[in-house]
Amino acid sequence: MKNNEYPEIMLPERACELCGFDGGNALELHAGEDVLVIHKEQMTAIEMVHVISMLSEMSTDLTVALAKACGRCNNCGGEDDDTGENDPAQWVESCSLCRDLLDDSQNIYIPDYLLKEAGISSSAKLEASADRDGGEITVTEAGNQFDISDVPPGILTVLAQSGICLAELDELIMLEEIVYGK
């Protein structure tokens, strides 16, 4: 059942003063998954510059916070941590676990008709396990709703280039733990 109780947002007076919002401004709302941005419906060039710089500052800060939550990849705890090089882009590159997460060909693809037969939606995430002796692979619907495949390539590239552990990111997404504002 859908929860129809929504928060009623009153904009704090001081925030409105800072934003230059007065009763006379029509405001424009941009609602996306997990975010709401409000700015004036009509803006001058400098007002637009202010909005752009706030948004890019926020996106940098959030990216840094996400990167910190994941930490650097030390070859994912593997033995041959030869990632002592100073180029962070090489850290993820030389970790096979992280590299596989960037590689689409590692995903499980099952034809739609088979999914249908199994009663699994074609958009569902899949999980596979292998039976060592029986020569069988079992594919089931994954328990988690999101994983690293839901992260846009642009964000993944920035994190990978900075040597951030993608396996840890995948783990954090699946665990659905709070990683910001705890």
* Contacting positions for Zn ion (CB under 5 A): 73, 76, 95, 97-98, 165, 167
Of 159 and 165, the one with the shorter C-beta distance to Zn ion is 165
The CA distances from residue 162 to 72, 97, 104, 152, in Å, are 8, 16, 21, 16
As measured in angstroms, the least distance from the Cβ of 82 to Zn ion is 13
Taking the CA of residue 134 as centre, how many other CA atoms within 13 Å lie in the half-sphere pointing to its CB? Answer: 6
As measured in angstroms, the least distance from the Cβ of 91 to Zn ion is 8
As measured in angstroms, the least distance from the Cβ of 147 to Zn ion is 15
Strand partners of residue 30 = 37
As measured in angstroms, the least distance from the Cβ of 149 to Zn ion is 16
Of 19 and 98, the one with the shorter C-beta distance to Zn ion is 98
Of 97 and 110, the one with the shorter C-beta distance to Zn ion is 97
Of 19 and 169, the one with the shorter C-beta distance to Zn ion is 169
Q: Which two tokens stand for residue 61?
A: 């800060």
CA distance 171 to 69: 11
Q: Which helix (H) or strand (E) element contains residue 17? A: helix 13-19
Contact 69, 171 (CB under 8 A): no
